[in-house]
Amino acid sequence: MKKLKIATAQYQPKDGDKILNLSIIESLTAKAKESGAQVISFHEMCISAYTFFKDLNKKEAFDIAEEVPHGESTNRLIELAKKYDISILAGLPEKEDGQLFNTYICVNRNGLVAKFRKLHPFISPYMKPGNEYVVFDLHGWKCGILICYDNNVVENVRATSLLGAEIIFAPHVTGCTPSAMPGRGYVNSDLWHKRNEDPVPLRMEFDGPKGRGWLMRWLPARAYDNAIYYIFSNPIGFDGDQLKNGNSMIIDPYGEVLSETRSFENEIVTATLTEDKLTLAGGFRYKNARRPQLYKDIIGKSHNPILKPIWMK
C-alpha cells in the first residue's frame, strides 16, 4: 500500500527577516527529518512573513519579493532539501515581469517541483492573482496547493480534487481576526505575553470560535467532501501586528484530524498517509455520483467577484 509521512509546521516569523525565518525553517526541517518525515509544509509567505505587507508601499513590497526559481530563498530551500533529503513546501512573495504574487513552492533535492500563485490575494493592492490550479507528483502522490482564502471558495478545492489531487497543501495565515460570525475577533496581545505563567486563557481563546473552533467548521469538510488529505499550516504567535493560533494539522479523507500542533512554540507534527482512505471515504463515492449536466452552467455562470475580508475594511 502506498504511504507517505508528512510533517506540518507552525512558527512565529519575523517581519521581513528572511534570514531568521529560513533559519527556523531549517531547524524544523531537521526535526521533521529526524521524525522520519519525507515532506514538510510551512505556512503562507513564511519566508518573509505576511500581515505586515498590508502596510508596505509598492517599492517596499517589490524590494522584499524574489524571483522563482532563481531567487536566493528558493535556492536556499533547495539546499536544505538536499542537506536533509526531504521535500519542502514554503511560501514567499514572488516578482516577475513587474508583477507581484503570493507564491507557494515545493522543492526537493533536485530543484523546483511545483509553483502555485494565490488565486485570491488581498493583503497588498500590488499583488496580482494567480490564474491556474496546480497538480504535481510528490513521492508517488498527486498533490495540489491552495493558499489560505483559496480554500474558502469550495469550487477551488473541488476543481483541484477533480484534476487528480489526493493531497492538498493548505498554507495559511489565519484566525483571530474580526468576522461577521459570532465570537470571532482579535485576541488580546497581553494573553500572549503572559502565556508562560498563565497559559489557560490564551489556549481557550485559540481553541474557541476565534481560532480552532472556526477552523473546524470547514477544514474537515473540505477533506471529507473531496476524499483527500488536507495539510493545513499556520503561524503561531505574532505575524505582523496580529496574533495567530497555529493549530497546524493533518486531516484525512474521513475528515478526521490525524495530528495537530498544540503548543505555543515553533513546532511540527507528523502523520502517515495511506492510500486506502482515498477510496474508502464517502467523498470518493460522492464525486463519482456527480451529475454535472445539472449544474455546469450554473457553477460556470459569470459574476463579479468581491474579495475584501471584514478585518481589512
Here the CATH number for the domain that contains residue 190 is: 3.60.110.10
| Side-chain half-sphere CA neighbours of 214 within 13 A | 21
Residue 306: per-residue pLDDT: 82
Q: Is this model's pTM higher than 0.95 or not?
A: yes
Sign of the dihedral through C-alpha 10, 16, 18, 24: negative
Residue 308: per-residue pLDDT: 79
The residues near 66 (Cβ < 8 Å, ≥ 6 apart) are 72, 73, 74, 92, 93, 94, 95
Residue 312: per-residue pLDDT: 83
Residue 310: per-residue pLDDT: 80
* pLDDT greater than 90 at residue 209: yes
Residue 155: per-residue pLDDT: 97
Query: Residue 295: left (phi > 0), alpha (psi -120 to 50), or beta?
Result: alpha
Domain containing 147: what range? 3-312
Please state, in angstroms and rounded to a whole number, the distance separating the CA atoms of residues 49 and 159.
28
* pLDDT greater than 90 at residue 17: yes
Q: Which residues pair with 231 in a beta bridge?
A: 169, 250
Mean pLDDT over 279-296 rounds to 96
Cis peptide before 69 (omega within 30 of 0): yes
Residue 305: per-residue pLDDT: 83
Full DSSP string of the chain:
--EEEEEEEE----TT-HHHHHHHHHHHHHHHHHTT-SEEE--TTTTT-SGGGGG--HHHHHHH-B-TTTSHHHHHHHHHHHHHT-EEEEEEEEEETTEEEEEEEEEETTEEEEEEE-SS--S-TTBPPP----EEEETTEEEEE--GGGGGSHHHHHHHHHTT-SEEEEE---SSS--SSTT--PPPHHHHHTTTT-HHHHHHHHHSTTTHHHHHHHHHHHHHHHT-EEEEE--EEEETTEEEE---EEE-TTS-EEEE--SSSSEEEEEEEETHHHHHSHHHHHHHT--GGGTHHHHT---------GGG-
Query: Residue 205: left (phi > 0), alpha (psi -120 to 50), or beta?
Result: alpha
**Interior angle at CA 248, CA 157 and CA 261, nearest 5:** 155
287, burial (CB in 10 Å: exposed 0-12, middle 13-18, buried 19+): middle
Structurally, how many domains does the chain consist of? Answer: 1
Please state, in angstroms and rounded to a whole number, the distance separating the CA atoms of residues 121 and 117.
9
Which triple of cell numbers denotes residue 138?
510528490
67-101: per-residue pLDDT in tens?
999 999 999 999 999 999 999 999 999 999 999 99
144-191: per-residue pLDDT in tens?
999 999 999 999 999 999 999 999 999 999 999 999 899 999 999 999
Q: Which residues pair with 6 in a beta bridge?
A: 39, 271
* pLDDT greater than 80 at residue 237: yes
